[in-house]
Structure 1
Amino acid sequence: MRRLLPCAALAMASLWAGGSTAWESNTFADFIKGRFQGISLTRDGRLTLAPSLDTLASTGEAGIWSVISAPDGTIYFSTGHRGRVYQVKPGGQPTVVWASQQPEVFALALDSQGRLYAGTSPDGRIYRIEGGKATEFFNPRSKYIWGLAVGPDGAVYAATGDQGQVWRVTPEGRGSVWYETGQSHVTALAIDSNGRVLAGTEPNGILFRIEAKDKAFVLYDSSLPEIRSIVLAPDGSIFVAALGGALAQKQAQAAAAAATSQQPQGVVTSTITVTSDAQAGVDIKPKPEAAKPPAATGAETPPTPAPVDVTGVEKAALYRIAPDNMVETVWSSKEENVFDLILKDGDLVFSTDQRGRIYRLSQDLKATLLLETHESETTRLLPTAQGIVAATSNQAKLYRLSNQPIAKGTYESPVHDAGNVARWGRLEWRTDNSSGKMSFRTRAGNSARPDRTWSDWSEPVSDLAKALISSPNARYIQWQAEFQPVNGQSPLLDSVSVSYQPQNGRPVVRSVQVTPQWVASAQKTAAAAPQTPISYSITVTDSGDAGTATSSGTPTQNISRSGTPQLFIAWQADDPDGDKLIYSLWYRAEDEVTWKLLKSEIADNTYMQETEVFADGRYYFRVLASDRLANSPASAREGELVSQPVLIDQTPPTVTMGTPRVNGNQIEIDVDASDAHSPVRRGEFSFDGSAWKLMDAADGIADSKQERFIVRFNAISGEHSVVVRVFDSAGNPGLARLVLR
């Protein structure tokens, strides 16, 4: 038994492909496909620890729609689907300052006197909150208030839907339509340095600059349907975020659904406690006498509607509109939707719906992934002196990005498909500095997505000399890197490489087809390549055969066929590894056991063979495909397929004509035809060289190897010639002639 083990090991080794390969990750495009937990991806494709993310509030609601800050550092934010407005004072705890009767508060604004304005939906009204009391400020008679902005003169501008109007409301609460956009929704609002209103719309993605009442100029007509955010730069440039999924319409539908399902409730006064753990959630406890709103559970709180996903089409873009109105696209994506953008230290910072990512776009237009919040969307961003504040949904949370790196971060690579079961080699990595600590793990499996069938993560490895991958042989693999700072310095990962040797897949022959053809006789010797089929004619002498020339009489011309029968053999085959294949072609007769080699070393997928080398009978053809040109002899593999039985019949039917008989005014002649190998299919006759006419089968159908046909024609005096022609299923013609006198 022991003597068999080396042979078994050799047999297993022969299954593996001849050459190893490597999966390398070293660019921004490579790393961005993975998952980031406390990890940033620099614009030049390096992984490092992300800024720490402190939780300021976790409300348990569906989402945070608007965030603003007061001069004293107080942060206000509004939520859905409970329609609350919160405040977070510096160093303090989040508290509810107002609870709306409507499920959504999409917009907030502050005036110069510190008065807070809130816009509700789907019964669009504007409220002014001051001194802890909220009063209705203005009712624009619109369903949705998407944005609020306060002008230099204290007037409040409101972006509304679903009539696409911009309203102007004086500090005294008197309002009028400032501009009719002709769109369904005004989804973004800003005031420029000259006091002009910038309004972005949906569904045509138009950016208006409203210079006075009923007077506007279109700054840009985007190819995307919705303008989501507008930011003004100090140099007069305007940065605009556009997305491609009609998010406003979907949020409107969700707001209407929430309003329908929401039970009547009174104003809720709440106290909020925050645990000492920075990551802990906010515990909202309504007083017992207040009507409790619906709980924000996964079953009762519908998720924030996401934009329509059209694969391969641009989903979002960032535009820069220069002071001279020239427009430049500074960033776009086919995978992510942009929700908000801000300017921070001269760079653009924007958020998306891809696991709540936050990016920074430098002035040279190179993007850095700052971090992932791991929420469905990061809906709003707010620059503050203490750092960037980020708001999220589907769990309404408020975070602050610190200037210090997180204590520990983990990056999880995308899953790599080796194409077949592979033997793993070494894991190698390269860093650009010696600061910090890094360790690596791997896991493998045979399902495209990691699940319970995958192996556990391997033990961590931090020494390159010991970085031999211990995960089991499988088709898919994934690696994970853990980062830890040392003395406040983060490690910087430049590239990772996984070496592996995939199992060599067996070639597959999909089909084999054998088709008879006729080709020109001059091409007879070129049997290895398919030739162009040609037609041919047959001429028969009056005696039925070609006689030899004599010295005393007129010589007889020999008429031969202008072509020769050929078998055109074609097949389809492929290799799972994409290896180049080479073929050999074999055959055997039905009554034979051993395969005979017809042709080897065939590079093409076709072969032409003279039929005359075969005797009549049924044959099988076998195509053997090999990938030995791309693999070592020990690892090369073969695949084969045998054709259906092919009948080769080169002998025409035997045809005999009986004695003519008179039947009324017609002459009838019986024609008997027999064939040794294939059924007789059709009979024809020609009277005095006229066109061929079909003969009737005596039993009504020509379907056997022996058939009788009947020739019928009107009786005519004199000498006449009748020629009959009978075909078998292989197309071979048998002929006979009878002279009537």
Structure 2
Amino acid sequence: MKIYIKSLFIFLFSLSAFATQTDYLIFDRPEDFMDGKFQSAVLSSKGKIYTGKELKPTEIDATAVWSLLELAEEQVLIGTGNRAKLFLYNKGKLEEIFQDKDPDRIAISELALGALGEVYFSVIPKSAVYKMEKKNITKLAEPNLPYIWTLLPLDKGELLAGGGPKAGIILIKKDGSFSKILELNAEQVMNIIPAGDNNYLATTARPAMVIKFQLDGSYQVLYSFTQEEVRAIKLLSDQSLLIAVNQGPSQPPTAGEPEEEPPPSQETEEPQAPPPPQAPAGRAIVFQLYPDRGLKQIFALKVGTIISLFGNEKIGFFLGTDDQGRVYQIFPDQEETLLSFDTGTGRVVSFAGTKQEIHWLGTAQPARLIKIIPNPQTSYFQSNTIDLQIPARFGNLTWKGIGNIKFETRTGNTKDPDSSWSNWQEVKIKKPAPETGGISSPLGRFIQVRATWTQPNAEIHQIKISFQPINQNHFITALGINIPNSQTRTSSNQRTSSPNQSPASALKQTQISWRVDNPDQDQLYFELFLRKEGDQNWTKIASGQELNQNQYQFDASELEDGWFRIKLTASDSPNNPEPVSFQTEKISYPFLIDTTKPELEFKITNGIISGTAQDKTSAISSLEYALDEKKFQPLSPLDQILDDKIENFELKLKGIQKGIHQIRIRACDQADNCQVKSKEFNLQ
């Protein structure tokens, strides 16, 4: 048996049938590592793992952190749902500084920093825009736009707002007055960013478009996508656009209907906000759109969606996803993508930081503010549970990389690790090669590997685990003997073929067949033996290649009469040396070889026929008589049952006319060897 496993997606290749040959589990591609867990570790699209940054979460009393805005070092604003609360996190202290009084408004969808340090934020649904100066918060405007997803502060205290459900872009002036600049043929406006020379870029959902517009309302569509929405956009230094699009069912990012406000004395559950903002489920792609060269795909998620985008060309662009709460980092000018953060939550919804560094993540389900800390004390990677299909013994773990890394393994026989699994056991380093160590974990079908390190420059390039699947026992599940066109028996009262046929020629074509359950498809060596009942020794009649078709035909006509058994042995020794090889055997039921007719004697006295039928090998199976030209009829023995090698019989003839008659007696044994004798008699 041979299983070769090359990745964590477990490709199984049946390369040969050697249970004792060493096989390997190899991690050296990004997809091999992807299903594992990462802590303060980064996975590169080049198949390397190296030290990342530490994540320090703070639980927020909300369902989601919809928006973040960094004000200063260790100071960040947190916009949440489902009560439209605004929090200030300041040097480790969390303070609620705002909650919209309208119970219908349940989420702070966007936070934006103005040119003079003022803060703007939008609350949905029944959108309102607020202005915050220091901790003084005032309502600036209530535009006629139920949902606002994006805010862009302009000069002179003005700002642009975009949203839906009828995609619109509104200019809000310093005094709170507003005017609609654009109403597009789409459902939502998702982003607005500056594009220089009094131009702006906006993205939409359903349909997914990128448009360029000016404040006078003129615009042009730069690109229309087949996906559901353009989730985010960034303008790069070469004037190309970085565009994140999502494909999925048409689910507008609405906040749902709030509950009616109850009487003051009645307690009710809090109204539930939707996932912030709800990205369509399905495949997500990041394109680079060149003004004169079209699209270039630079990143894709097979499952999940991109919810948020942060960064620049210097630090890379961070993609918040609902792919197990993972954050990917892309560099458009480099052919490398990083899995930078593994939050283990449902969604990464928001980011905050500076142009030089990312500092904060905001998540949903659960709602957390996550601080990003450089220079972690410890980093680790833990693989997913790897199914080898059958239990295996483990040998060495070999790794390629940089630095001192501690490896551990654990094994078990259930898909999900539980108390029946072994404890984590450190891989014991073998000298003189420090990159190779012996695995101490016991035999098991499932295995996990964990790598832990403290050095900031440590890297893992490859992990290779040697293992040997156990040799699985094989079983002979059926063994049968068939003599064509004959009546033979596997016991004294069971027929296996049609009656009344001579076995003389049939014995030359005696067919032996069998079935084997061979789970690991080992090459088997068969031997076939014959023994007469009552004897002690077996006689080999065939072996090796002549038995490879699970059947064998032999000439049984040369055997003496009697009851025999067949024994079949099967060994997987061609592939498995001692002591791991298995040999199994099966012995057939007795089968009969009988080529001799019974002896038959009888006499007739005064119309009474009496006699004896006798066979040396098998019991008399039938007695019959026929008078004159009539057909044979059953003749009962004196003891009323045909089960002995000697049977006596008597027949009183009644109701026949006087004169000369002929009587025929037929006796057959269990092999349908029949003896017929006839006599004439004169009935007076």
TM over 0.5, shorter chain: yes
Note closer, same or farther for the CA distance 1:204–1:582 as it changes in structure 2 (3 Å cut).
farther
Note closer, same or farther for the CA distance 1:637–1:461 as it changes in structure 2 (3 Å cut).
closer
Note closer, same or farther for the CA distance 1:226–1:584 as it changes in structure 2 (3 Å cut).
farther
Instruction: Describe the superposition over 1:566-597 as per-residue Cα deviations: whole angstroms up to 9, x where unpaired.
Output: 98979796634xx45457597999x9999996
Conserved 8 A contact 1:587-1:597: yes
Distance across 2 between alignment mates of 1:146 and 1:510 = 68
- Aligned to 2:119, which of 116, 138, 154? 116
Instruction: Describe the superposition over 1:387-409 as per-residue Cα deviations: whole angstroms up to 9, x where unpaired.
Output: 2032222232233434x320112
Aligned residue type for 2:289: I
* 2:64 corresponds to: 63
- Aligned to 2:457, which of 483, 487, 490? 490
Conserved 8 A contact 2:228-2:250: no
* 1:367 corresponds to: 337
Q: Does residue 283 of structure 2 align to residue 339 of structure 1?
A: no
Distance across 1 between alignment mates of 2:278 and 2:25 = 34
Note closer, same or farther for the CA distance 1:633–1:93 as it changes in structure 2 (3 Å cut).
closer
Conserved 8 A contact 2:166-2:186: yes
DSSP 3-state at the match of 1:66: strand
Note closer, same or farther for the CA distance 1:420–1:188 as it changes in structure 2 (3 Å cut).
same
Note closer, same or farther for the CA distance 1:27–1:262 as it changes in structure 2 (3 Å cut).
farther
Q: Does residue 362 of structure 2 align to residue 391 of structure 1?
A: yes
Query: What TM-score results when the alignment is normalised by the length of structure 2?
Result: 0.65
- Aligned to 1:236, which of 236, 239, 244? 239
Query: What TM-score results when the alignment is normalised by the length of structure 1?
Result: 0.61
Please, what is the CA RMSD of the aligned residues?
Answer: 4.9
* 1:354 corresponds to: 323
Aligned residue type for 1:635: V
Aligned residue type for 1:42: S
* 1:680 corresponds to: none
Distance across 2 between alignment mates of 1:365 and 1:379 = 26
Alignment of 1:61-460 (within 5 A): 61-69=62-70, 75-88=76-89, 93-100=93-100, 101=102, 102-130=105-133, 132-135=136-139, 137-142=141-146, 144-151=147-154, 155-161=158-164, 163-171=165-173, 172-176=176-180, 178-183=182-187, 185-210=188-213, 213=217, 215-222=219-226, 224-246=227-249, 249=252, 252=254, 255-256=255-256, 259-260=258-259, 315-324=283-292, 326-344=294-312, 345=314, 347-362=316-331, 363-384=333-354, 387-388=357-358, 389-402=360-373, 404-433=374-403, 437-458=404-425
* 2:55 corresponds to: 53
Note closer, same or farther for the CA distance 1:292–1:483 as it changes in structure 2 (3 Å cut).
farther
Distance across 1 between alignment mates of 2:327 and 2:512 = 63
1:620 Cα deviation after fit: 11
Structure 1 residues not aligned, in runs of 5+:
1-15, 266-290, 519-563, 647-675, 678-741
Aligned residue type for 1:450: P
1:139 Cα deviation after fit: 2.9
* 2:545 corresponds to: 601
Conserved 8 A contact 2:428-2:439: no
1:218 Cα deviation after fit: 4.5
- Aligned residues: percent identity? 20
Instruction: Describe the superposition over 1:111-169 as per-residue Cα deviations: whole angstroms up to 9, x where unpaired.
Output: 33444333222333434444613315023243x322223456765333323x3412222
Instruction: Describe the superposition over 1:246-292 as per-residue Cα deviations: whole angstroms up to 9, x where unpaired.
Output: 5964x53xx326x3388699xxxxxxxxxxxxxxxxxxxxxxxxx99
Conserved 8 A contact 1:203-1:246: no
Conserved 8 A contact 1:507-1:639: yes
Alignment of 1:551-630 (within 5 A): 575-576=519-520, 579=521, 581-582=523-524, 600-601=544-545, 627-630=572-575
Q: Does residue 580 of structure 2 align to residue 635 of structure 1?
A: yes
Aligned residue type for 1:401: I
Note closer, same or farther for the CA distance 1:463–1:170 as it changes in structure 2 (3 Å cut).
same
Distance across 1 between alignment mates of 2:199 and 2:444 = 62
Conserved 8 A contact 2:207-2:224: no
* 1:27 corresponds to: 29
Aligned residue type for 2:172: T
How many residues in Structure 1 have an aligned counterpart in Structure 2? 543
Note closer, same or farther for the CA distance 1:360–1:606 as it changes in structure 2 (3 Å cut).
same
Aligned residue type for 2:137: K
Conserved 8 A contact 1:46-1:494: yes
Note closer, same or farther for the CA distance 1:464–1:510 as it changes in structure 2 (3 Å cut).
farther
DSSP 3-state at the match of 1:140: coil
DSSP 3-state at the match of 2:180: strand
Instruction: Describe the superposition over 1:323-373 as per-residue Cα deviations: whole angstroms up to 9, x where unpaired.
Output: 326111101121443222233316332232334222222322211222322
